[in-house]
Amino acid sequence: MPINRVAWRNVHFYDASTGATLGGFYQKGSLTEATVVWILANVLLVVEDHWTVRFRASGRAITPSSNSVVPGDYDIYSKGTIRVSDEAWFSRLISDAVSGREDAFRDGVRARDGKCVISGEVNDGALWGVWAGFQAAHVFPLEHENLWIQFNCGRWITNMDGVVGSSKINSPQNGLLMSESLHTRFDQYLFSINPDDSHKVITFMPNHWGIDGRILDPICRQPNHPNHVSDEVLRWHFRQCVLANMRGAGEPVFETDFPAGTDMMETLRAEPYGKERFEMELTSRLRFMAGEGDVRSQ
């Protein structure tokens, strides 16, 4: 069954006038007051009047500073009404399988990065073409290519301007090389990269991964490299991560390990967002059956 992200939160937001819970998150140390004030104003809340947020234990007003957010309870004050945003959040599959058309994506990301750009772990086997344990991850998920097209996200890609008949979602600019375990967590929105805070890695659950507060490796974001990762796709993922972890009760963390004999499709149908995830999985399987092949991205 899906896991509720509320369980591990150590920061909580409340409407000061009603006591209602507005959201919260787990803070390991990398989220600053400036980032959280921006998130509240631009992603999580819809407020009709001026508002302030105060740390309940001290009454101190939180300002857009570089101070790390202190775990605890925070009250949001406003003369107007406060409500939680209803912005759409998109669940995703664990995208560890790719078809033939993604070979160029995988190879381009490998050639550019050569290491896990999140942890800094270098792939010592690259010289011999061994990539076990490393995967090319789509930042904007391949299974949501219809949304990519609908929102015209191809405008974020700058290295395929002359390509006709492609959505550009498989550009290396929409990819990062990372370890297999981190790829799964990235797809579950358990950590993200904030390109507007020095490309800092931010984790949203208790962990010993050693990545919270690290800076995304510069090798993948050199502005003069034609395949540099797009800051816009990173912003999209960070925003989705915020919605998943900080808004209201949060979004579920889905099961990814299905033992032999498990009816995976039936499990998906019974989950929250089950219809969407079922349709994504079905589309993925049909693409494979159509003959595009199945090449793992490790």
CA gap 273, 91 in Å, rounded: 7
- Cα 49 from chain centre: 30
Name which of 155, 182, 187 is nearest 171 in CA terms: 155
Question: Whole-model pTM above 0.85?
Answer: yes
- pLDDT over 90 for what percent of the chain? 74
Give the lowest-confidence range in 50-54, 248-252, 261-265. Answer: 261-265
Q: How confident is the model at residue 94 (pLDDT cuts 50, 70, 90)?
A: low
Confidence of residue 92 (pLDDT cuts 50, 70, 90): confident
pLDDT over threshold 80, residue 251: yes
Domain borders along the chain are 5-84, 97-255+265-292
pLDDT at 48 over 80: yes
Q: Model confidence at 3, in pLDDT bands (50, 70, 90)?
A: confident
Of the candidate ranges 66-70, 222-226, 268-272, 275-279, the one whose mean pLDDT is the lowest: 275-279
Residue 44 neighbours by CB under 8 Å, 6+ apart: 13, 22, 23, 84, 85, 242, 243, 246, 247
Q: Is the pLDDT of residue 294 over 80?
A: no
What whole-number distance in Å separates Cα of residue 168 and Cα of residue 163? Answer: 8
- DSSP element (H, E) containing 283: helix 274-287
Angle (CA) 44 47 51, round 5°:
100
pLDDT the model gives residue 166? 81
